[in-house]
């Protein structure tokens, strides 16, 4: 296969993948831009509704906060305590998550200093409802499991699209030409220049977002593959508690003492409570050297005996686990702080710009073909 034939094949692949998945990519990209700062927006809205928390000495014991929320579900025997998220800042509330038959995810916000319940998500405000729809549209096109797989496939195809775009980029022949836009040229040429420049500037970030999205949506396939490629041993099976009949769960205070002894100096960020009798009690911790807000360290305890079942030290993870953990900052743009998050807002607009300019090039695809006049000029130069 000659280089020209190969290039024509890559060009055709690039063109038809772009036309085929472009509309899906636009939806995913635009919703992704909207979600970049959704936490800050919802937090701002929540502060407007609940007010700002003023630190008042030391926070209340965790068990006291949990008991306060538990009392509000006294008339709902089916309600299950699922998670506790501790505030990342002194001015933020604790978040106690409950699940019921009617609603499997109810967030209850509690003042960590007074124990006052500030509100919950049983009746989300318009901002929360909006972002909930946007989120479902982003990762599954509002189509459930089928949409989840469709978005995953689109993510993989976009990765192929970006790679073929890099191969076709004219900057390989002349670097300056690859970044130059001739604004005073014919509109067709301006359209092409915008396409090539936006594509090459956004290519790395598009690969980050769409590849990680593909991996998440096909996690049952990509996770073992990543472990295999990185020659990493798979994580041990999820730890389980040894069920002891007629014995209740150990007091949380005792469990916390065990956790602190296992990972001294680590900060408790969240607790995942057992839903089934055999489930382990999981504590998510953040070591001082970890950059991730909620940490990547976990301690699993037997809920009846307090025995340490497994410890995941975030600083001693396998290469495969580190790769998997890198997906979150790469996908959400948090790896560079505020500048990269702002950049990701514009990266989400790239699929729209690339599809529009690509479609225009397809519509006027004959303009790149040499005309009869071009042949005459070329012949005259040879004579």
pLDDT in tens, 60-118: 999 999 999 999 999 998 999 999 999 988 989 999 999 998 898 999 999 999 999 99
72 in a structural domain: no
Residue 260 lies in a domain: no
Among 32, 27, 135, which Cα is nearest to 341's? Answer: 32
Beta partners for residue 267, in sequence order: 286
Longest CA span, the chain: 100
pLDDT-based confidence at residue 124 (cuts at 50, 70, 90): confident
Q: For residue 336, what pLDDT is reported?
A: 93
How does residue 366 score in pLDDT terms, banded at 50, 70 and 90?
A: low
73 near 102, Cβ under 8 Å? no
Of residues 24, 343, 77, 376, the one with CA closest to residue 210: 24
pLDDT of residue 369: 53
**pLDDT value at 222 more than 90:** yes
Q: How far, in Å, CA of 11 to CA of 276, rounded?
A: 54
Question: For a pLDDT cut of 70, what percent of the chain falls above it?
Answer: 95
Q: pLDDT category, 188, cuts 50, 70, 90?
A: confident
Q: What pLDDT sits at residue 141?
A: 97
Percent of the chain with pLDDT over 90: 77
pLDDT at 220: 95
pLDDT digits (tens, 9 = 90+) for 163-173: 999 999 999 99
Q: Within 10 Å of residue 122's Cβ, how many Cβ atoms? A: 12
By C-alpha distance, which of 344, 293, 355 is closest to 92? 293
pLDDT at 372: 47
Runs of H (alpha helix) within the chain = 3-35, 38-50, 62-71, 126-140, 144-168, 175-179, 187-217, 219-229, 252-262, 319-332, 338-347, 350-363, 372-382
Task: Calculate mean pLDDT across residues 125-152.
Answer: 95
Range from 219-233, 312-326, 357-371 carrying the lowest mean pLDDT? 357-371
Per-residue model confidence (pLDDT) at position 328: 94
Which letter does DSSP use for residue 240 in this model?
B
Residue at 118 is within a domain: no
Answer yes or no: is 107 within a domain. Answer: no
For residues 208-219, give the mean pLDDT: 98
- C-alpha triplet 293, 297, 299: angle, nearest 5°: 130
Residue 364, pLDDT score = 78
Task: Express each pLDDT in 254-310 by its tens digit.
Answer: 999 999 999 999 999 999 999 999 999 999 999 999 988 889 999 999 999 999 999
Q: Among 66, 119, 56, 122, which residue's Cα sits nearest to residue 91?
A: 56
The pLDDT assigned to 81 comes to 96
Instruction: Sheet containing 94-99: give its strands across.
Output: 117-120, 106-110, 94-99, 80-85, 267-272, 281-286, 297-301, 308-312
Within a domain: residue 33?
yes
| Run of H or E residues at 285 | strand 281-286
Calpha distance 207→164 (Å, rounded) = 12
- DSSP output for 319-374: HHHHHHHHHHHHHHTGGG-HHHHHHHHHHTTHHHHHHHHHHHHHHTGGGGS--HHH
Residue 81: inside a domain: no
Instruction: Kindly report the pTM of this predicted structure.
Output: 0.87
Residue range(s) defining the domain that contains residue 346: 3-37+131-231+337-382
Angstrom distance (rounded) from CA 212 to CA 152: 9
Q: Does residue 52 lie in a domain region? A: no
- Whole-number average pLDDT of the chain: 91
- The answer as to whether 196 is a domain residue is yes
Give which of 42, 36, 44, 101 is closest to 73, Cα–Cα. Answer: 101
Backbone angles phi and psi of 118, in degrees to 5: -90, -20
Count up the domains in the chain and report the number.
1
């Amino acid at each position: 296969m000659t280089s020209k034939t190969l290039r024509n094949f890559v060009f055709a692949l690039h063109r038809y993948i772009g036309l085929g998945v472009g509309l899906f990519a636009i939806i995913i990209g635009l919703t992704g831009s909207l979600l970049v700062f959704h936490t800050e927006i919802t937090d701002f809205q929540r502060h407007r509704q609940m007010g700002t928390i003023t630190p008042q000495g030391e926070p209340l014991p965790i068990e006291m906060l949990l008991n306060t929320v538990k009392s509000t579900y006294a008339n709902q025997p089916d309600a299950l305590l699922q998670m506790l998220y501790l505030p990342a800042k002194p001015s933020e509330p604790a978040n106690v998550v409950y699940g019921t038959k009617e609603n499997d995810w109810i967030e209850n916000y509690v003042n960590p200093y007074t124990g006052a319940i500030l509100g919950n998500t049983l009746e989300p405000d318009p901002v929360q409802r909006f972002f909930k729809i946007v989120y479902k549209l982003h990762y599954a096109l509002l189509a459930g499991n089928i949409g989840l797989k469709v978005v995953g496939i689109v993510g993989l195809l976009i990765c192929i699209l970006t790679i073929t775009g890099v191969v076709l980029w004219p900057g390989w022949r002349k670097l300056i030409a690859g970044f130059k836009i001739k604004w005073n040229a014919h509109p067709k040429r301006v359209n092409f220049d915008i396409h090539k420049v936006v594509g090459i500037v956004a290519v790395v970030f598009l690969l980050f977002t769409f590849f990680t999205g593909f991996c998440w949506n096909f996690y049952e396939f990509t996770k073992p593959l990543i472990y295999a490629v990185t020659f990493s041993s798979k994580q041990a099976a999820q730890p389980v508690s040894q069920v002891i009949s007629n014995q209740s769960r150990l007091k949380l205070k005792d469990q916390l003492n065990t956790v602190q002894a296992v990972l001294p100096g680590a900060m408790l960020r969240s607790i995942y409570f057992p839903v089934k009798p055999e489930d382990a009690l999981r504590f998510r911790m953040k070591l001082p050297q970890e950059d991730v807000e909620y940490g990547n360290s976990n301690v699993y305890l037997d809920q009846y005996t307090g025995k340490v079942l497994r410890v995941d030290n975030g600083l001693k993870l396998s290469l495969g686990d580190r790769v998997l953990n890198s997906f979150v900052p790469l996908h959400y743009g948090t790896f560079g702080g505020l500048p990269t998050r702002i950049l990701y807002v514009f990266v989400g607009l790239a699929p729209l710009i690339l599809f529009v300019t690509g479609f225009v090039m397809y519509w006027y695809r004959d303009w790149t073909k040499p005309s009869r006049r071009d042949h005459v000029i070329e012949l005259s130069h040879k004579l």
